[in-house]
Chains A and B, each alone.
Chain A
């Protein structure tokens, strides 16, 4: 059984980001690059499937500027993935180009029996690649998955819907599954795992190898800017009774939100 896990490298959630003065992007310094948190659940799920099925082989793939994204592949290898592939592409690659390149990579590698992704990347929050990749591959998908029971032919998945509701559905075992928090508890890479990961080869592929180019994105971001400053805070003084009555008055009369 061949499993593919698609991961993305993103700035750590604690990162304080600053946009470049010319608006062309963010300043790529002063923070750590990490594996997208939702992709960690996808990697862990693949590892747990392999634990129950020793014949499984896990390939982790990422797309981005190779000099930095290779670190995220090393993390996935250190967690226990068997093989790693890197599609070298500009950071600006959009959901369309990412899904198209992943799809062409999958065809080049002869296909996979199960494809796992995170439900969305926390940078652009598009939450599109899972579904686009499924369509490109002619597969069904389930995104925002918090439980996966893999069968030989069909799987049962639980998806998180709005307001805490859950949907239980049956889906072909060969599908694209987007992992949500709650699916499992991702492991930390062990020290021996980290050492071993350093020696594992990374299969490098260029967009050109896949018949694509940098300009194949269908959307383009520009004019990066910081959000507008919020007006200064108004602290409410006194005891709880005085504070709350003043607050309710302000919410009704000044802010007009109640």
Chain B
């Protein structure tokens, strides 16, 4: 039977829900589901991937894989793919996965479908759909003559199945191939923000020029603290140097699809709307009732974000 290999990542000692989404999808396909994990906590987590439907798991638990290195991850995953010989490889679109899987696809003379939002299994093939131009339109994607079908899914797109604690996956270890690394990581400088990355966030509060000045982003931070959100920004304020580019939402920043997106003082340039309009619920707070952001919003407040934000934060505090 054809095999689906699911690359699983962990956070805070358990498999990330974005990876569980993929195990669930693979299991429901009826194909044999094999997971793979890297790093020292891999063996323990690998067994638990069976709770969601993996029958077996292949791990490389070398501690040098605890942090991402493109060469080391490539070497380990190449060995795993050779061992498992899957027809389909699924990974969530995290930064490490988006970096390494295209390289593996080239190695295995195969195509890649990245940034996909839905997946359907049809025998040994997958059919995906993906937003194009940051969501200005959507298209379906099929593979053709690809030895392996490499798929990178956006997080938070698929359901996670019920866990069955009695089902565990058999775990097999592969040794990390002894190859010289060309890339040497010297230092990781943590960002100022300890929040979840925008692309994986479930709630985002985002600010634009309507916040008047950089220091007013504090109001967004206060709200984000209360509702557990990540903080985003429009291109205008990134270009003005108020906040870092890593916070930019839009076609030249990050494309996001949280459950809740609160746009504060953002008028809604086309490229910003493209980057966030697939959010489930959108709240817009803006002084101009004609602002384009209101065309995409679920709920609108016509008002000054600087006045509304502190009141909104207090209102959330009452219930959270």
B227 touches A258 (CB 8 A): yes
Chain B residues with CB below 8 A from A128, complex form? 102, 105, 112, 114
A167 touches B308 (CB 8 A): no
Chain B residues with CB below 8 A from A233, complex form? 284, 294-295, 297-300
Rounded to whole angstroms, the CA-CA distance of A123 and B252 in the bound complex is: 10
Chain B residues with CB below 8 A from A122, complex form? 133-134, 251-252
A251 touches B283 (CB 8 A): yes
Total CB contacts across the A-B interface at under 8 A: 274
- The answer to the question of A166 belonging to the interface, with a C-beta cut-off of 8 Å to chain B, is yes
Q: Which residues of chain A in 121-140 are interfacial with respect to chain B, using CB atoms and an 8 Å cutoff?
A: 122-136, 140
Rounded to whole angstroms, the CA-CA distance of A96 and B141 in the bound complex is: 14
Interface centre among B100, B296, B301 (most CB of A within 10 A): B301
Rounded to whole angstroms, the CA-CA distance of A135 and B193 in the bound complex is: 33
A43 to chain B, nearest CB (A): 16
B312 touches A244 (CB 8 A): yes
Chain A residues with CB below 8 A from B134, complex form? 122, 125
**Of A17, A171, A221, the contact of B182 (CB 8 Å cutoff):** A171
**Of A123, A140, A162, A222, the contact of B70 (CB 8 Å cutoff):** A140
B137 touches A161 (CB 8 A): no
B142 touches A236 (CB 8 A): no
B319 touches A13 (CB 8 A): no
Rounded to whole angstroms, the CA-CA distance of A244 and B316 in the bound complex is: 9
Q: Which residues of chain A in 208-227 are interfacial with respect to chain B, using CB atoms and an 8 Å cutoff?
A: 217-227
**Of A163, A164, A169, A222, the contact of B139 (CB 8 Å cutoff):** A222
A234 touches B298 (CB 8 A): yes
Contact with A along B180-220 (1 / 0, CB 8 A): 00111111111111111101100100000000000000000
Rounded to whole angstroms, the CA-CA distance of A17 and B131 in the bound complex is: 13
A11 touches B133 (CB 8 A): yes
- Which of B15-23, B55-63, B241-249 contacts the other chain? B241-249
Rounded to whole angstroms, the CA-CA distance of A257 and B229 in the bound complex is: 12
Chain A residues with CB below 8 A from B227, complex form? 258
Chain A residues with CB below 8 A from B32, complex form? none
Contact with A along B155-195 (1 / 0, CB 8 A): 00000000000000000000000000011111111111111
Chain A residues with CB below 8 A from B138, complex form? 224-227
Rounded to whole angstroms, the CA-CA distance of A70 and B103 in the bound complex is: 28
Given A123-B133, A240-B311, A247-B301, CB of A96 within 8 Å of CB of B111:
yes
Given A17-B137, A125-B255, A165-B190, CB of A231 within 8 Å of CB of B112:
no
| Seed contacts A163-B194, A241-B311, A243-B303; 4 additional CB < 8 Å A-B pairs | A127-B98, A140-B183, A219-B112, A219-B143
15 CB-based A-B contacts, threshold 8 Å: A13-B250, A96-B112, A140-B71, A161-B188, A161-B191, A163-B194, A163-B197, A164-B193, A167-B185, A219-B143, A225-B138, A226-B138, A244-B301, A255-B260, A258-B227
